[in-house]
Amino acid sequence: MRRKIAPYLLILPGGLWLVIFLVVPLVFMASVSTQEGDIVNGFVQTFRLANYTDALVEFKTQFLRSVGYGLAGTVLTIALAYPVAYWIAFKAGARKSTYLLLVLLPFFVSFVLRTVSWKFLLADDGILLQPLKGLGLLPADFHVLQTTAAVIGGLAYNYLPFMILPIYVALERVDPRVVEASYDLYASRRDSFTKIVLPLSLPGVFAGVLMTFVPMTSDYVNASILGGPANTMIGNIIQTEYLVNNDYPVGGALSFTLMAAMLIGIFVYAKALGTENVLEAAAR
């Protein structure tokens, strides 16, 4: 009897934690999203599903912008992270731990502080642009802040380690003897990479995309600090609805719509990539 219930007792603490701090808040937010009222007179449950359609119609632009920023930031992180992870996995030798520590070093500083530091660097009169303008290398009216490039760059910078680490783990598992065998069979370096290394690293890319795209799309810090009114993301709207307008039903509807969109996107991405192929590559 004890052996039968032992596994359930082991998962009980974690299960309770998820129920209390994940399931219960989600249920409460789902209830709030279909209510009507205001902060003064209170909210009443009327099961008003129109909150979802109204929120989606009113903030469609911010939804699409957030998805676009998330996609652009994810592609940028892949382009930056893969060469770094490849170099650490195959070229760093005995210093791999040191370079991995350098990758993780930014996490010793607050997310907000890291983003604010970029605001100082990219300011019109900051330490980066001001000297270049003084030398005449940039126009006097040139600016980076409050642009799409600044927000996407901030997203890529803050979430880059989340892409590097899973790709590195996948590349680290690639047996060098397999690559050497491909050379013995007269494969070029490009063929060896595209037909052996890249397929075997797909599980890391798959995990990295999940760990970056979802938080990027729902992020609001980078858009608030590095962007302007034209760069507002859906996370900023949700924050405003909850903390400024006190419109909890709309905030809840936006949150659930964003979560549903992310889940659908993840399933479509997994289907397109082929989770069976990813699992087979990971097993190898």
Helix (H, G, I), strand (E, B), or coil: what is residue 36?
A: strand
- Between CA 38 and CA 217 the distance in angstroms is 28
Helix (H, G, I), strand (E, B), or coil: what is residue 77?
A: helix
- Between CA 85 and CA 164 the distance in angstroms is 6
The model's pLDDT over 31-72, given as tens digits with 9 standing for 90+, comes to: 999 999 988 888 999 999 999 999 989 999 999 999 999 999
User: What is the mean pLDDT of the segment spanning 70-81?
Assistant: 96
Instruction: Report angle CA 140, 143, 148 to the nearest 5 degrees.
Output: 155
Residues 53, 58, 62, 64, CA torsion sign: positive
As beta bridge partners, residue 37 has: 43
For the domain spanning 52-283, the CATH number is: 1.10.3720.10
pLDDT at 74: 95
Residue 131 one-letter amino acid: P
What average pLDDT is seen over the chain?
88
Considering the entire predicted model, what is its pTM? 0.88
| Token digits of residue 195 | 């037909």
Contacts with 270 (C-beta within 8 Å, 6 or more apart), sequence order: 206
For the chain, the structural domain boundaries read: 52-283
pLDDT at residue 80 tops 90:
yes
pLDDT at 282: 46
pLDDT band at 281 (very low <50, low <70, confident <90, very high): very low
